[in-house]
A and B are shown apart, each in its own frame.
Chain A
Amino acid sequence: MNWFSGLLIGLREIREHKFRSFLTMLGVILGVASLLAMFALTAGIAAGWRNTMQQLGGLERVGVSDKQVSLEFADLAALSPGRTLADAEALRGLPHLVSHVAPEMQTPATLSAPDGQTVSARVTGTWPDNLTVSQHEIAAGRFLTDLDLERGARVVVLGDAKVAQLWPDEHGTDADFLGRTITINDRPFSVVGVLAFYQREEDRRRREAAAKGAPAPARFAMGGRSGGSGRRDMFSWKNESVIVPLSTLYHEFRSGQPETPPLAMAKLDYLNFRVRDLQRFDETLSAVQSLLRGTRRGVDDYDFDTREDWFERMETSLRSTQLSGGLIAGISLLVGGIGIANIMLASIAQRVRELGVRLAVGARRRDVFLQILAESTVIGMIGGFLGLGAGVVLLDLLGRVAPLESPPVIEPSAVLISVGFATAVGVLSGLYPAWRASRLDPIAALRYE
């Protein structure tokens, strides 16, 4: 006798006692269902986070931030010019490591559209590279160009939400706003580009689903453009962007005031760059570090903002979620395994005579062992597959009752692990009953009533 005939016998036993077998499997079914649901939920959350991070610039985005100079060097701090355009220019000297550089200066301003509203905004002056560094996406028109920068052109790229605030009564396409003139602190600027509307993946899906239900007015019923949604999320800084060339911002709004340094020495509000190759992340950071040591005259007054810490925090929190979910599923599987062992013991007590007959016609102890083990394994495996179905149903119900932040993702590995665990539970819980059955004395078993 081999495994296969053992499995056939097991299957026949299960078919003979469908309801009992189902009850036996129930613990495993629930265990696998919760295991699968837990995997799918955390995978969904992870996918949502990855997506969000990608939209925020990805792991490649690194910010140069300020750092308090330590006390023993405090007297030297004044020597450093701080974060200036000189840093940005220097970073451009590392094209093999740093692919894009985006210095930013910001100034609060009043925006006014002659044919629309007047709103206040934070205007950002930057370089064309900002498009890539901040992972902006142009919905209509263009982003800034080197020519804009060189000329100090009065051009502006607007975020989707800002367009909605300036022209709240217009619901045209993004392209309709191109070429219009707005004033920023009373100076005329031409709108050359509109950014795409940024939203989280699940928000987008929800809107799309709503749009399918009520085709035409849906976009506006949801609050028109993003500005009306009233919700500030992590993308609002992107959606409310007002972007002009750095040189324009400096010359129009900063210079001319007393004590204004030349542009190259002007302080930047932000300095971000993009690492060309993530494999050489550390190498890039140390190259940038030695570069900045030059521009900062040896003063250690800068630091790097990377997404790695954020990524690690995310991983840790995911792991703890998985651990607690796995614990619950594990307890359920354990209970399921005990249930299988219990039923198998009862079942062999019921079948002592059958086992005696099998022994009499030539079954070896290991054949009987294998038969019982195969039966419990099949129960575990079938329970695992039914549990997969139950898990999918559970996720569906969960999505209906409480809409999830991130839609669950069922990964093939989660399916394999869940069914694998169920099978393992089947094998383990069959070991003792199988051993008991294999120790039966054929004579006593044949006489058993």
Chain B
Amino acid sequence: MRKTPDPAAAVDLREVHKIYGTGPDPVAALDGVSLRIDPGEFVAITGTSGSGKSTLMHLVGCLDTPTSGRVTVAGEDISTAGSDRLARLRNRSIGFVFQAFNLLPRLDVQSNIELPLVYAGIPRRERRQRALDAAAKVNLTDRLTHRPSQLSGGQCQRVAVARALVNDPALILADEPTGNLDTANGADVLRLLADLHRSGRTIVLVTHDPAVAARAARIVEMCDGRIVKDTAT
């Protein structure tokens, strides 16, 4: 197995350990994980709670850095990156979709979608236009001035998807995106992710639900901080 990461990969983890806590009783959330995801792949990461899939997602999402090993995201080695560099990567290269939507309740739909562009320093006029385009992709152009509290759960998650893709990231990370939705809305969101995959984006979907994982082209199963199964469907 190669020890140096491949910059051509969308995501490349080499012998990654993540240990929480110090002292006599540290917890190894990731215990030597190596995983390569190529650009344009649609990968589901599954496992029970405590399997390490969330920790893996945090590393892939540049929200955290590994205790040891190397993590490369969009060609950049983030193993030792500072918080500003991580923030820039999250901003430019990654779009997040969360289980709890995580929209800002006091902003309307348009401003929520624009949020990543604000931190990218995009001028207001361009922000408006790109938010409009993203809203059109998730079919929400008629809800731009609504606030999240005025939307259904399915609509909220579509706003979140629009926010995730507004910055045109190479990688979209979805963490239990259907967890808070009914079956119909869940299917809706999964269809959106599949559309994004078809348009060439890399999708990483974290879920404990085998039915949801089945939508991906490749399923990585985790248990106790290790990858136990990596299958193409």
Contact = CB atoms under 8 A, between A and B. Distances in A.
A357 B100 CA distance: 11
Contacts of B121: 1-2
A334 interface: no
Q: Is the interface of A mostly helix, strand, loop or mixed?
A: helix
A358 interface: yes
B98 A358 contact: no
A362 B87 contact: yes
B87 A363 contact: yes
B84 A364 contact: yes
Given A5-B118, A13-B106, 10 more contacts: A357-B115, A360-B63, A360-B102, A361-B90, A361-B91, A362-B88, A364-B88, A366-B84, A442-B63, A446-B102
B84 A360 contact: no
Contacts of B84: 364-366
Contacts of A362: 87-88, 90-92, 116, 119-120, 167
Q: How large is the interface on A (under 10, 10 to 19, 20 to 34, 35 or more residues)?
A: 20 to 34
B102 A353 contact: yes
Contacts of A222: none
B99 to A, nearest CB: 10
Nearest to A355: B104
Contacts of B98: 446
Interface in B78-129: 83-84, 87-88, 90-92, 96, 98, 102-106, 115-116, 118-121
B123 to A, nearest CB: 11
A276 to B, nearest CB: 64
Closest 9 CB pairs of A and B: A362-B91, A362-B119, A361-B116, A364-B87, A357-B102, A362-B90, A363-B119, A442-B63, A364-B84
B163 interface: yes
Contacts of B91: 361-363
Interface in B9-30: none
30 contacts: A1-B118, A1-B119, A2-B121, A13-B106, A353-B102, A354-B104, A357-B103, A358-B119, A359-B87, A359-B90, A360-B63, A360-B96, A361-B91, A361-B115, A361-B119, A362-B88, A362-B91, A362-B92, A362-B120, A363-B87, A363-B119, A364-B87, A364-B119, A365-B83, A365-B84, A365-B87, A366-B84, A442-B63, A443-B58, A446-B98
Nearest to A365: B83
Given A362-B87, A364-B83, A364-B84, A357 B120 contact: no
Interface string A1-26: 11001000000110010000000000
B64, B84, B118: residue with the most chain A Cβ atoms closer than 10 Å:
B118
Interface in B47-67: 58, 61, 63-64
A367 B115 CA distance: 12
A360 B90 contact: yes
Contacts of A2: 121
A5 B118 CA distance: 8
B199 to A, nearest CB: 21
Contacts of B83: 364-365
Contacts of A357: 102-104, 115
B87 to A, nearest CB: 4
A12 B119 contact: no
A360 B91 CA distance: 8
A356 B87 CA distance: 12
A354 B107 CA distance: 11
Nearest to B96: A360
Contacts of A5: 118
Contacts of B63: 360, 442-443, 446
Interface in A1-54: 1-2, 5, 12-13, 16
Contacts of A366: 84
B116 to A, nearest CB: 4
Nearest to B175: A446
